[in-house]
Structure 1
Amino acid sequence: MSVIDLGEYGADFTANPYPYYAKLRESGPVHHVRMPDGWEFWLVVGHEEGRAALTDPRLVKSPSVIGFTPVDEEVIGPNLLAVDPPDHTRLRKLVAREFTARRVEALRPRVQEIADELVDAMAQAGRADLVDAFAFPLPITVICELLGVPTADRDSFRRWSNELVAPTGGTPEREIVEGFGAYLGELIEDKRAAGPADDLLSALIATRDEDGDRLSLPELRAMAYVLLIAGHETTVNLISNTMRALFAHPDQLTDLRADFGLLDGAVEEGLRYDGPVETSTFRIAKEPTTVGGTAIPAHAPVFVSLAGADRDPTRFPEPDRFDIRREPRGHLAFGHGLHYCLGAPLARLEGAIAIRTLLERFPRLELDPDGAPWEWMPGLLIRGVRRLPVRW
């Protein structure tokens, strides 16, 4: 199989990758591809094949299978995104004891309160960058409060997180991870000294399972690290991507404004149509493996294009049509299987509250034609724009 150079697609691939994924799918569900920096891997673009790959035990998450330790694991600790059973089972069980559906639902009034405060602050200006004024501060405030992190530190988290998920090359990765890790270590020690509290991080420090097992300091650091990044970065882009889709489809926006009973469907369709995570975090073939009829050699990195899978016409009729009444079940925006996103209920809650609050408060909300051009997030992991100028 020849190697497909994704760099040849240019900047248009970052702005609108969907036609390119469609072209790849036409010739097969799995491809050997190369990034502009020369890195090669296998990319799954079909829905059925992607769903199968996300649960294939031969495709493992821990890079130890190739004798490699990522910088974040070396500096901070082993996290849920880079471990396999039984370690993954143990870590997820411990965090799931505290990050419950009841805890998430209890956040609803506070999420609404934060959303209301943000639109109050926006109201007089008549225009704003929706990312900076609303889509970012809402989830970062929620996750900081949930974990018990001082909200005053959110700008530091934004800088660290943006560079980790969509690197600009401005700061070395190790420097970012070391700063993040040192901060989290100090925060955990402060919470240990302070004793029991209602926040999630304090609960994770204190939690034990029935056998007395508990999270070690590196595991606590790594858990906070993943929850902070995943708990806001994806939701920022869930909100802004879904609003972009609604602006681009005024008939759907009109229908939603007329009937907020369509809200949950709008969130799900936003996740499918232009979700915040373009490509899954990597997996490694621990042995020669066949995915979608394609032979993948041992130790090769494999990525699932969630964006490509969720526009597969064999699963979603007219996949390039944005339809908030579509039957949404089956999209892979939150992954699938053992590594299905732990924070999916919180993301859905925040997305629905955010979109309804914006549309109710600003009935004439629209893209600002005089705003600065969009700047797309680089790389294959996060899908979204750094700015979204709007007016009302």
Structure 2
Amino acid sequence: MYYYTRRGRKLASFSPLPLPAAPEPGESEEVTFLIDCPPEERRASFLAADPRHLTAQRDSVEWLDSRRIDAPEPELPEWLARRLKHGGLRAVNFRHPAWERVVFGERRQPNRKRVNLLAVGDVGGTLLTALKLLGGENISTIGICDLSAATVARWTAEMSQISWPWNYEALPKVEPVAPEHLFECDVFLFAAAKAVPPVGSGVQDVRMAQLAANRPLVESYARQARSAGFGGLFVVLSDPVDPLCRAAYRASNAGPDGKWDGLGLLAEQIQGFGLGVMNARAAALAQQDLRYLSFLSDGRSFGPHGEGLVIANSIKKYDDAISRELTEQVKTANLRIRELGFKPFVAPAVSSGAMQLLLALRGQWHCGSVCLGGVWFGVRNRYTVNGLETESLELPDELFARLKETETGLRAIE
């Protein structure tokens, strides 16, 4: 084990690094662990929840069941092992160009965040309404931006007329924000969509039909985030959520020569909010059908908002046939709304968007797509003072095989 000090901060690593050496830290000293791995396809920092997180050269869906991580388990000093066990160890990749910014950046955040929302169409308008009503404790101001000035004026006026009587400052204030100021915030919500197949079009996977149209949009704003030096949370709500997260990351980190330079958004800054509604749909079905009842107490949802989704009826008593049946019902639930002649945007905007964002801001477990080995994969995760944590469970072999199949499918999308 090697120990270092830089700018008054104690650091530890398994690797000899070109940093000033230091004695072993004391039990109560704050320590950041430096890993030394290829940085392009992984998070720059994360909460180390298993010793093998510190030796693995890459992350992947194996991190959802730490028993399956293909890396040696290191021997840690007792004080460091205790710190890791209790969620007190942050790992930062020394090879990432932004490693010092990550280590020495200000981690304290304002209690109430400034949120900027791009596009107030069907999803954006519903999301805005939910955040206005639910976000008073976590959000100070919501800035809205749209191509239509009339749309912005309408929603600003409507939202200003929503308040509790005699407690007029309890809810977030909604105000216009100019495109050039979109990244003067703590959270940026991308809800723009260039094209949505109309009801009755016969398109089965509406989300993937939107990829070609929406990718240039998200890439443009990801590059703007890079130029602005944006340090907040970049949330993708537009479909297809998971590939668009990956596109945003790559575009933001492309230098003048088009190659990855690591000077844009960190992978852990980007999260896709599409899984929440899939989880809620599974719960709704479990409340209607006793065959799925175990989902309510021990079920999980994984993967993308669409093709590749994995619903597990239970982790402890996993039934592959029941889980696949439930997955298919959840995956096609939006088609039932379309068959009624409506676009299915209300539940996604609230369950995937507003609810997951508020949980994330509170540091609580939520459903979201995070970077695992260069693809964005929907999991149960949370933000902690020591970095992003993904839930790790003992996953049955049949379930894990489904997750690997989904990972392969997501990686094939370019």
Q: TM-score, normalised by structure 1?
A: 0.32
Higher RCO, 1 vs 2 (CA within 8 Å, ≥6 residues apart) = 1
Asked which structure has the greater CA Rg, the reply is: 2
More helix by share: 1
